[in-house]
Amino acid sequence: MSVLPSSAPTSALERLPPLRSVHTTSFADLLDQFGISLLVTTYQAGKLVMLRADNGVVNTHFRSFPKPMGLALHGNRLAIGTALEVREFHNVPAVAAKLPPAGKHDACFLPRCSHATGEVLIHEMAWGTDSFSRESPASKSSTLAEGSRLNDEELWFVNTRFSCLCTLDRLSSFVPRWRPPFITALAPEDRCHLNGLGLVNGEVRYVTALGQTDTAGGWRANKKNGGILMEVPSGAILLGGLSMPHSPRWHQRRLWLLESGTGTIGFVDLGAGRYEPIAALPGFTRGLDFYGSLAFIGLSQVRESAVFSGIPLTERLSERTCGVWVVELITGRTVAFLKFEDAVQEIFAVQVLPQARFPDLINDDPKILSDSFVLPDDALSDLPDALRADNLTPPARPIQAPSKSALPGTRPK
């Protein structure tokens, strides 16, 4: 695999600090072949990064946010968890068609609403439903928003500071819905470092934490191998002895996991109660999404600090890499990578944008935001024809993954 420098913005604002990256030629080929792009958050650099194929290279497009962490995509809706709030954006194709250069962009996410949560250390997020009732042992401490129904799809997020899973309502900072049975109080103490959230068929099912501990910051004492994987509906611990696990994902009838402290990706043998790594990578693995039989994995350098000292990864590698690695699930082989240099050192979330080759997200352009409007369908008939987007651009198409039967092959060009 040959390595090329990535294409990046060249404005003076974005040159300080440098946001350089390099990538294999196969990375751009994969994005182009599948017609996808990637979203990546880096809380350390305060950026949302869009990775987009552009004439044989990867264009890295940056938008600034205060400590962006979790991402959740559902159709044309995108939620981003930041330092103090959850921000929601909607894809508006009519705006994408007007962005320069003409005809280049096929998706454009505009801000729709934000919800102030306070500093709850938001980690992973997903739109889904719960399959457990408030009477189940694992959810005795759950609080449901007034008027909500158990099986309605909602935005769920990991509230790491309060050691719980949450949703949102109009009045509260957050609505606690579930916490591990061993957590005895709803306290802002990061007792177990709850971090990962996994769904099965749209239902909340799995979480990861860095320890089975019930004291303020108690997980830190045994971070090397105190991590756990839990099943949410039952509250059961399915697997222990993990090194800083993150990103549980159900894909192709398997439960996948990143054991970040060892820098690996693997699957969980639920019958045997065992984690089976398929690949060891050159960084702290955190942030995971799939397309067909390929895994897109975030890697972080991780600093030599009290949080990351003494874990197997730092003992195995004196120098770690930050970037996105693409691994073939069948073989564990790395088929492509993009490596950040200089300013970007840690990654949290990685999200595939299917059917969006060259997206943008607008969060700080007053001109575009002041003149872009989304109205209910029944109001469009009252607009002059010249102002109606349906006369100017194709109708909106939800961003969604193709069916399994329609998935393209997974070999790079």
d(CA 229, CA 218): 17
Residue type, 188: P
Q: Provide the CB-side half-sphere exposure for 96 (13 A, CA).
A: 22
Helix, strand or coil for residue 95? helix
Secondary structure E strands in 182-304? 194-200, 203-209, 227-231, 237-242, 245-251, 254-259, 264-269, 274-280, 284-291, 294-300
Decide: residue 403, CB within 10 A, 0-12 exposed, 13-18 middle, 19+ buried: exposed
**Which pLDDT belongs to residue 20?**
87
pTM of the entire structure? 0.88
Q: What is the DSSP string of 60-79?
A: EEEEE-SS---EEEETTEEE
**Which pLDDT belongs to residue 377?**
83
- Sequence-distant (6+) residues with CB within 8 A of 290 are 249, 251, 252, 256, 296, 329, 352
d(CA 319, CA 371): 48
**Which pLDDT belongs to residue 7?**
65
Closest residue by Cα to residue 29 from 282, 283, 294: 294
Three-state secondary structure of 100-112 = CCCCCCCEEEEEE
**Which pLDDT belongs to residue 400?**
58
* Ordered alpha helix ranges (H), 59-197: 93-96
**Which pLDDT belongs to residue 398?**
58
d(CA 124, CA 176): 15
Per-residue model confidence as pLDDT tens digits over 49-86: 999 999 999 999 999 999 999 999 999 999 999 999 99
Sheet holding 77-81, edge to edge: 71-74, 77-81, 85-91, 107-116, 359-361
The residues of the chain scoring below 50 in pLDDT are 10-16, 134-151, 391-395, 402-413
**Which pLDDT belongs to residue 147?**
33
d(CA 52, CA 59): 5
Closest residue by Cα to residue 269 from 281, 253, 280: 253
Q: How many CB atoms lie within 10 A of CB 282?
A: 20
